[in-house]
Structure 1
Amino acid sequence: MTDKRKTESKKFGEELRKLMHLAGLKERELANFINYDITSISKWVNGAKLPSKRNRSEIIYALAECFAQNMKDVGADAAEIAEELLNACRKDELFKEMEIQGTYSLSFVDSRKDFFDVFEKLFRQVSALDDHTVEIAASFNVLEHLGHRFYELLQKLPSAGTKRFSMKMCMNMPEQEVENKLYCDMLLNIVAGYERAEISIVAAKEQTPWIIVVNGFFYIQILYQKEDDFAACFSTDPEVASMFRRIGREIFENAEQVLSYASPENLRKTNVQLDSYSCRRQRLFFNEAPAMLLPENVMEELAKQSESKDYSDYLRKLKKVFSSYTYNARVDLLLFSSVISEYIATGELSLGNVPHHLTEKQVRDHIHYISKCMEENHGFKVYVLRDTVSESENLKMFPSIFIDTMAVTLENSRRKPNENYHISMYPQIIRVFEKYFDAMIQRPDCYELTPEELRRYL
């Protein structure tokens, strides 16, 4: 630790300088416009000081109005400029309030308690950032190697105001099938817990240092971890974090993809869902109305009603897949009892990530068609989870899970807009989720429906 520069953030000063350059203004012109002392303006620009909290909003809106008036030719908006300046202030205060930066650009912890104390303070403050987003990039499997304590910290983020969560991490695949239930629970809870979650996992390489970068400005490296012994260094120094961001990019860009975020639109374009329903073996947990095996007459009616030719073509392809492949496949379909009842009552269903409101007749035709399939294809089984059992409460938050022989897909359709969609074609990830699903249907609160029992819901 030879660098003795105090760790600081000067986002507000940087934003001021950028705006002054764009507007062609000097410090004295700003001071005259807002009727403020030029010494204070200089301190704000240099990052030595922030506008006082007592009248910060007034000062910033006055500055924004000055910039907007001098940038009319580019259509500058005072409200947008003010929001940028306020966000820059929040980021600067974040560094001051964290109280985790040391005297040097690199600081050191030698206990797990101190390590997690650092992270808890960091996450508590990071949720107050401008867009309520937390981004984590780790060169190792943080869920496995940091364990329950780190996962508990992640679970606190939504209640602290975090709306969007992004995590990139590396994973040593040969070791991963040991804790498959814990691993699946962690991933499913993360995907379910945010308005938007993006998780990307790549295969780890040997001798990669254990590095974590949070929101691009906080860096930590675990130096040693064994039983009770622990050592790590960390920094909020922008230059240090920038260096390790570059290292992180190289790690992720050159690694084999294990699990990745995908937009629903891209999934439809690449026929992933059509391929899944065509598969000879499927395990499906729908935490929503079961958007599968709709009869041909219902599919044709929906296709005719579509305003998009691409979508109507997609529905007609799906109609053929349902009748030719899904109807004859080996399928385990798992639903909450309340999901069936809610679907029958409302007719609301998402098909190909497009919401539909089916008529009472269309819903009845759908349920009867599934029942007919169960009678003719003994490999098509429907399982129901009882809603009254407390053990099911955690599952109710989970995204839907679709597993076939080629891929596992997680879809959080209960959140709107539907953006939490993840897919993996990695064989070991598929096996992990297969075991997880098979354990779900063995639960004491889960039972298999007969065709007649399914029809009784109508």
Structure 2
Amino acid sequence: MRKNFSQTLKHLIKFSSIKLSALADFIGYDVSYLSKWCNNINRPSPKYIARVNHRIAEFIAEELVKQDRLYPFFNEFGIKLSTKITAENAKERLNKEINNLLNDAYYQNQAESLPANNEQSFSPTTPYQTIVGRTNIKKFFNSKIASLLSGLQESISILITSDIVTLLSRDAFLDFLSYCHFSSENINIYIGCNTDKLAHAPASFIPRLYSMLNKYININFHIYNDQSFSHSNVITVKNYFSLQYSIHKDNLMDICTYIADKNISKEIWERTFEKFDYKSCILEPKHDIELVKFRSFFYLDSDLLLFCAKGFEFFLPAQAFKKLLNSSRDYKYSSDMQKTIQNMQITWEEQFESAHIDFFLPEANIIRYIENGQLTYGEIDYVTSAQEREAQLQQLIKSMQKNPNINVYLLGESQPQNEEEYFKLSYYSNTKTAYLKKNKSFLKNVSKTIYLLKDTLLIDKFNQFFRNLQDRPTCRKFSADELEDIYKKNNALLYRIWQKNAPVQ
């Protein structure tokens, strides 16, 4: 259950062990005011809340840095870290997170206390309705709009002309998605991207984007260069309703008009959709089968970065390729698929000899693969036998011994406790082209399985994000000798695992 402003403020004060009087002096309020805020007798005025929260965050962040309680704070308040925190940016990060906690609690608290007539004034069939004020707008989206979208059984297509860099710089958009419990099995969301903002995006942007694509794996996100619609300020849901809004200088909505008139909403959709020019798409969902011919050329490059979120489809022995060829006959465009498999086998064998290849393997993923042998090759789900997995490991070791430019990095993350904590998106890059691939075992609908990156700047930023994984304290680089030593020492254990998990014939 989310805490209100009073509870959050008291929690922060107690955790940081600060005196109420010292905080009151710092923010310029009488201590009696803070006492009322903490006891839920009163709250700061909406007019001054931004300044109040900023000053409170600044004071508490300073104290926590002095106490060297950075990571205890993140654990206490359940904040997951997606980027490394240095000593230089610790205070800034604490300040930001405390400010977010207070703002979220305040606006949540405000929304819960709205008068009953506000609560009952909305109807999905009301042709027009204007909502004024960010607190009312936030509640409107997280309750009414989220509820509408959650109840739709048919396909959902949403156009959002906002800039994705700006959207992910705040929590409002991700917060809204968390309230949407989609029933539809086919959801497409089209979002804009300001390429100038992308060029200067903070380091946190790509981790947040990857996290969003990973968490909402059953949604197809399409991202477009927004130069044709950057001033539109429109959200429109095909065949249902549209929203037009104005933006405050802090990039939050100030005024929003809901339009349910079918004819008007249809015209808004058509006028907006025509601005989403296919040529300006920079992140495009695709079916895996559409990349059949693309892959033959993809691996010809001599510099590869491969992040594997399901199985390990590389260094497969010859017998596995033969079985894959047999399986491919059941797939659409089977002749193209078979040719690709044959070409891939030849290409990989050549690339393993000389190419620079960085493999990044999440620990939870590789453990699952050692146990069950499940991988996806293109659109083909395949289970390697114990013998094939052993031959695969031996081939990896031999290739690394011959080619010192093959690197294996193991990400020793904590064991996931639920679906949300798993890596679900693999990443394949040859520095010039790149794509993300969904782990199909997490898919619950007809979602497309590939995100093709079509913008050089976006590819560069994703490459940097994944290469920076090697700087994590939990990431370890393995040499060929180390892998061989592990294999020899654990050979008997591996056989026991493989025997135990072998499929029943």
- TM-score higher than 0.5: yes
> Structure 2 vs 1, CA of residues 429 and 140 (structure 1 numbering), >3 Å: closer, same or farther?
same
Equivalence for 1:438? 467
Aligned alpha-carbon RMSD (Å): 3.1
Determine the structure 1 residue equivalent to 2:270. Answer: 246
Are the equivalent residues in 1 in contact too, given 2:245–2:255 (CA < 8 A)?
A: yes
Following superposition, the deviation at residue 389 of structure 1 comes to 6.6
Rounded to whole Å, the distance in 2 between the matches of 1:447 and 1:98 is 56
Q: Which runs of 5+ in 2 are unaligned?
A: 1-118, 488-493, 495-505
Q: Which residue identity lines up with residue 412 of structure 1 in the other structure?
A: K
Q: For residue 133 of structure 2, what is the aligned residue in structure 1? A: 111
Match of 2:180 in 1: 157
Instruction: Tell me the distance in 2 between the aligned counterparts of 1:156 and 1:104.
Output: 22
Inter-CA distance 454–124: structure 2 relative to 1 (3 Å threshold): farther
1:4-403 matched pairs, under 5 angstroms: 99-100=121-122, 105-120=127-142, 121-131=144-154, 134-142=156-164, 144-145=166-167, 147-158=170-181, 161=183, 163-179=185-201, 181-194=203-216, 196-205=218-227, 208-227=231-250, 230-253=254-277, 256-268=280-292, 271-296=293-318, 298-300=320-322, 302-303=324-325, 307=329, 308-388=334-414, 396-403=422-429
Q: Partners in 1 of 2:358 and 2:211 — Cα distance?
A: 22
The offset of 1:401, in angstroms, is: 1.4
Distance in structure 1 (CA, Å) of the matches to 2:137 and 2:388? 57
Matched to 1:170, the amino acid is: G
Q: What one-letter code is carried by the residue in structure 1 that aligns with 2:463?
A: E
Native 8 Å contact 2:128 2:257 kept in 1: yes
User: Are the counterparts in 2 of residues 277 and 326 from structure 1 also a CA contact under 8 Å?
Assistant: no
User: CA–CA distance in 2 between the matches of 1:98 and 1:169?
Assistant: 31
Letter in 1 for 2:453: S
Counterpart Cα distance in 2 of 1:393 and 1:444 = 23
Letter in 1 for 2:262: P
2:443 pairs with 1:419: no
Q: Is the 8 A contact 1:127 1:134 kept in 2?
A: no
The structural deviation recorded for 1:195 is 6.4
Q: 1:405 to 1:395 in 2, by over 3 A?
A: farther
CA distance in 2 between counterparts of 1:286 and 1:102 reads 44
Which residue identity lines up with residue 211 of structure 1 in the other structure?
A: V
CA distance in 2, matches of 1:342, 1:293: 18
TM-score, scaled relative to structure 2:
0.64
Per-residue CA deviations over 1:336-390 (Å, capped at 9, x if unaligned) read: 2232233233222221220122222211111111112222222211111114378
Find the counterpart in structure 2 of residue 94 from structure 1. none
- Confirm or deny: 8 A CA contact 1:191 1:412 kept in the other structure: no
Alignment partner of 1:245: what SS?
A: helix
Does the C-alpha gap of structure 1 residues 383 and 241 become closer, same or farther in structure 2, counting only changes over 3 Å? same
Quote how far apart the aligned CAs of 1:291 are. Answer: 1.1
Contact 2:431-2:460 within 8 A present in 1 as well? no
* Offset at residue 138 of structure 1 (A): 1.4
* AA of the residue aligned to 1:396: Y
Q: Secondary structure, in 3 states, of the residue corresponding to 2:239?
A: coil
Return closer, same or farther for 1:285/1:222 CA change in 2, 3 Å cut-off.
Answer: same
How far apart in 1 are the matches of 2:242 and 2:429? 36
What's the CA shift for 1:391? 11
| Structure 1 unaligned regions, length at least 5 | 1-96
SS of the residue 2:248 aligns to: strand
Encode CA deviations 1:403-435: one digit per residue, 9 max, x unaligned: 222222111123357733111121011011012
CA contact (8 A) 1:293 1:327 kept: no
Question: What displacement does 1:309 show?
Answer: 4.5
Check conservation: 2:302, 2:355, Cα contact below 8 A. Answer: yes
The one-letter amino acid paired with 2:239 is G
Instruction: Please say if residues 290 and 349 of structure 1, whose CA atoms lie closer than 8 Å, have aligned partners that are also in contact.
Output: yes
Q: Per-residue deviation at 1:192?
A: 3.2
Q: Deviations over 1:116-163 (max 9, x none)?
A: 2221121123212224x54320123256247311111113324x6565
User: In structure 1, what is the Cα distance between the partners aligned to 2:231 and 2:259?
Assistant: 19
**Pairs aligned (count):** 358
Cα distance change, pair 223–174 in 1 and its aligned pair in 2 (3 A): same
Mean Cα displacement is larger for which, 228-237 or 209-218? 228-237
In structure 2, do the counterparts of structure 1 residues 134 and 119 end up closer, same or farther at CA, with 3 Å as the change threshold?
Answer: farther
Say whether the 8 Å CA contact 1:337–1:384 is kept in structure 2. yes
Structure 2 Cα separation of the partners of residues 232 and 445 of structure 1: 45
Quote the Cα distance in structure 2 between the aligned partners of 1:245 and 1:374: 54
Is the 8 Å Cα contact of residues 364 and 415 (structure 2) preserved in structure 1? no
Contact kept? 2:437, 2:450, Cα under 8 Å: yes
Distance change in 2, residues 1:441/1:161 (3 Å): farther
Output the CA distance in 2 between the equivalents of 1:420 and 1:365. 29
When the two structures are superposed, what TM-score results if normalisation uses the length of structure 1?
Answer: 0.70
